[in-house]
A and B are shown apart, each in its own frame.
Chain A
């Protein structure tokens, strides 16, 4: 039986994996049909026929992760690092019967590379599913508060 605490712990664990650059362990959190979505509109509904900054399946996320380690990944010389500061996740749904486990988490995200440091604010929405005894990410949606602003490179994951 998945509890609210397990959802919250899952979200903290995910941020920890990103902050410590345990990319493979982070990918393992995703369901085979999971998606990572970074919308580009306020309360965006459609990831396919409206523009997004990212809408990626596991194949594309694997490409990103492998690229980060590549010998000829020039934009990662020097490498980026990141830091997630999360507010306590709000449980939106914790319904085992319906298979619905959802939470929304307000965050400040920092990405740094060389002497540069960029800071972003937004909300992460997790749609999780139960596989066996554990949770997997069906959809991780990150809405930036300033999704419409022009950014420089964002190379890691919020």
Chain B
């Protein structure tokens, strides 16, 4: 029974000041509405310009559940389209990435398109003469997504024609992407390889919330990080230097007080990050030669300013998380109400020592892989929540930690690092972007 469609009030009622109704995680109708409204109203990450280095290069992605693709045209411009042939709907690109040459060619009837999406040729074109084809939607070629922004090589798109501008949507939160890019002595990142992919049988929002949940690492990850610390203490012998692996695992066991003082910063529209004053990434060993490169590129003061900013997890609402200090982006791709594909990308800092890339790759497989002992316990928690939320005993999920009466929505603030306010911030944005185009659609239907 449809309860929520075109019912903005019912959706808004799912989000209270300090709790959210379980339907946001378990109701298939809510999931469908997220795909129809929340994702098209939001700016969604499509890919990185380094994946489109040469003309004819393309990548595929999904926005919500809609297949899209991005390509590099021969004039150097990047275009984002819906990944379907205007003729019969066949997906034009079937691989995650590749080079199509001078044009795309549909494998079904050989309609071809320039790499800016415009229609190039149709076999037996005379069959369309005097049919009015010039006015047909198909004559436009691949349907282009108009609202595309390439910010420091990060490609974002908003499917709906109307909505917040990229700048209004992300605002100051872009400072985390800035910091990640600035960590390259050349101010440039590069995707070198495919992401680690990890299938989760849970709702996508559980993963997003977990990114700023600082009260779980010392509990859920005691078995992995705690054991790593314990085994190293026992086995280290005369070793004076802590191995990179133990440096990565160890800080997960930091006590509550560490997270409390490290702080959380929230921004409007559901964005926010952990690790304001310092973070679990603060105390990694220096990599030989790197600081010298940074000082040469940026000067003493600016280099230290860039490297001194070691934010932990930055959530870009709705569904990515960026770790500037270890150059990782996690994309939480919704598949179904209880199924989420997580793709975790590593960017290489162009011009920086190999060791930094080695560390980022190591972090990614330690934490974000299906073989990750940290990931195992996180996924276990999400799966148990997905199951537990079916119970009718209590239909609300509590997000009350460090709630203060009269919290302003869409505020910028730095708060205690164990607050659940960033989760409240996300759900405020969730209700906003779910419903912002609903009234208008009702009018259109009349």
- Which residues of the partner chain A approach B341 to less than 8 Å between Cβ atoms? 150
Q: Contact check, A55 vs B365: say whether CB atoms are below 8 A apart.
A: yes
Q: Contact check, A63 vs B194: say whether CB atoms are below 8 A apart.
A: no
Output the nearest chain A residue to B235 by Cβ-Cβ distance: A59
B290 in the interface (beta carbon within 8 A): no
Q: Contact check, B370 vs A75: say whether CB atoms are below 8 A apart.
A: no
Q: Contact check, A153 vs B375: say whether CB atoms are below 8 A apart.
A: yes
Q: Contact check, B231 vs A51: say whether CB atoms are below 8 A apart.
A: no
- What is the distance, in angstroms, from A52's C-beta to the closest C-beta of chain B? 6
Which of these, A49, A50, A63, A74, contacts B380 with CB under 8 Å? A74
Which of these, A54, A66, A155, contacts B231 with CB under 8 Å? A66
Number of interface residues of A (CB under 8 A): 32
- What is the distance, in angstroms, from A118's C-beta to the closest C-beta of chain B? 10
- What is the distance, in angstroms, from A137's C-beta to the closest C-beta of chain B? 18
Query: Footprint of B on A, CB under 8 Å?
Result: 38, 40-41, 48-55, 57, 59-60, 62-64, 66-67, 70, 72-75, 148-155
Which of these, A38, A40, A59, A74, contacts B220 with CB under 8 Å? A74
- Which residues of the partner chain A approach B371 to less than 8 Å between Cβ atoms? 38, 53-54, 154
Which of these, A53, A57, A63, contacts B369 with CB under 8 Å? A53
21 A-B residue pairs with CB within 8 Å: A48-B361, A51-B193, A51-B364, A51-B365, A59-B231, A59-B245, A62-B235, A63-B249, A66-B230, A66-B231, A67-B224, A70-B223, A70-B227, A72-B223, A73-B377, A74-B377, A74-B381, A148-B197, A152-B198, A153-B379, A154-B370
Q: What number of A-B contacts does a CB cutoff of 8 Å give?
A: 104
Q: In the complex, A27→B227 CA distance in Å? A: 16
Query: Footprint of A on B, CB under 8 Å?
Result: 192-194, 196-201, 220, 222-224, 226-228, 230-232, 235, 243, 245-246, 249, 341-343, 346, 354, 357-358, 361, 364-365, 369-371, 373, 375-377, 379-381
Which of these, A52, A55, A67, A151, contacts B198 with CB under 8 Å? A151
Output the nearest chain B residue to A150 by Cβ-Cβ distance: B197
Output the nearest chain A residue to B384 by Cβ-Cβ distance: A74
- What is the distance, in angstroms, from A80's C-beta to the closest C-beta of chain B? 10
Q: In the complex, A62→B227 CA distance in Å? A: 9
Q: In the complex, A73→B224 CA distance in Å? A: 8
The 7 closest A-B pairs by CB, nearest first: A150-B197, A75-B380, A73-B223, A151-B370, A75-B376, A150-B199, A70-B223
Q: In the complex, A60→B365 CA distance in Å? A: 12
Assuming A60-B245, A150-B341, A153-B375, is B227 touching A67 (CB within 8 A)?
yes
Q: Contact check, A67 vs B361: say whether CB atoms are below 8 A apart.
A: no
- What is the distance, in angstroms, from B287's C-beta to the closest C-beta of chain A? 14
- Which residues of the partner chain B approach A74 to less than 8 Å between Cβ atoms? 220, 223, 377, 380-381
- Which residues of the partner chain B approach A154 to less than 8 Å between Cβ atoms? 370-371
- What is the distance, in angstroms, from B181's C-beta to the closest C-beta of chain A? 21
Output the nearest chain A residue to B196 by Cβ-Cβ distance: A51
- Which residues of the partner chain A approach B377 to less than 8 Å between Cβ atoms? 73-75
- What is the distance, in angstroms, from A151's C-beta to the closest C-beta of chain B? 4
Q: Contact check, A53 vs B381: say whether CB atoms are below 8 A apart.
A: no
Q: Contact check, B193 vs A41: say whether CB atoms are below 8 A apart.
A: yes
- Which residues of the partner chain B approach A66 to less than 8 Å between Cβ atoms? 227, 230-231
Q: Contact check, B223 vs A59: say whether CB atoms are below 8 A apart.
A: no
Q: Contact check, A151 vs B199: say whether CB atoms are below 8 A apart.
A: yes
Assuming A62-B235, A75-B377, is B199 touching A152 (CB within 8 A)?
yes
Q: In the complex, A64→B230 CA distance in Å? A: 12
Which of these, A52, A59, A64, A67, contacts B232 with CB under 8 Å? A59
- Which residues of the partner chain A approach B361 to less than 8 Å between Cβ atoms? 48-52
Which of these, B227, B246, B346, B381, contacts A51 with CB under 8 Å? B346
Which of these, A50, A64, A75, contacts B193 with CB under 8 Å? A50
Q: Contact check, B194 vs A148: say whether CB atoms are below 8 A apart.
A: yes
Q: In the complex, A72→B223 CA distance in Å? A: 6
Q: Contact check, B231 vs A62: say whether CB atoms are below 8 A apart.
A: yes
- What is the distance, in angstroms, from A87's C-beta to the closest C-beta of chain B? 23
- Which residues of the partner chain A approach B245 to less than 8 Å between Cβ atoms? 57, 59-60
Which of these, B198, B230, B246, contacts A150 with CB under 8 Å? B198
Q: In the complex, A79→B13 CA distance in Å? A: 40
- Which residues of the partner chain A approach B226 to less than 8 Å between Cβ atoms? 72
- What is the distance, in angstroms, from B21's C-beta to the closest C-beta of chain A? 26
Q: In the complex, A105→B370 CA distance in Å? A: 23
Q: In the complex, A151→B371 CA distance in Å? A: 9
- Which residues of the partner chain A approach B220 to less than 8 Å between Cβ atoms? 74
Q: In the complex, A143→B276 CA distance in Å? A: 40
Q: In the complex, A149→B220 CA distance in Å? A: 26
Q: Contact check, A53 vs B370: say whether CB atoms are below 8 A apart.
A: yes
Q: In the complex, A55→B358 CA distance in Å? A: 12
Output the nearest chain B residue to A60 by Cβ-Cβ distance: B245
Q: In the complex, A154→B235 CA distance in Å? A: 26
- Which residues of the partner chain B approach A50 to less than 8 Å between Cβ atoms? 192-193, 361
Q: In the complex, A129→B373 CA distance in Å? A: 29
Q: In the complex, A50→B357 CA distance in Å? A: 9
Q: Contact check, B235 vs A51: say whether CB atoms are below 8 A apart.
A: no
Q: Contact check, B370 vs A52: say whether CB atoms are below 8 A apart.
A: no
- Which residues of the partner chain B approach A49 to less than 8 Å between Cβ atoms? 354, 357-358, 361
Which of these, B196, B200, B222, B381, contacts A40 with CB under 8 Å? B196
Output the nearest chain B residue to A48 by Cβ-Cβ distance: B358
Output the nearest chain A residue to B358 by Cβ-Cβ distance: A48
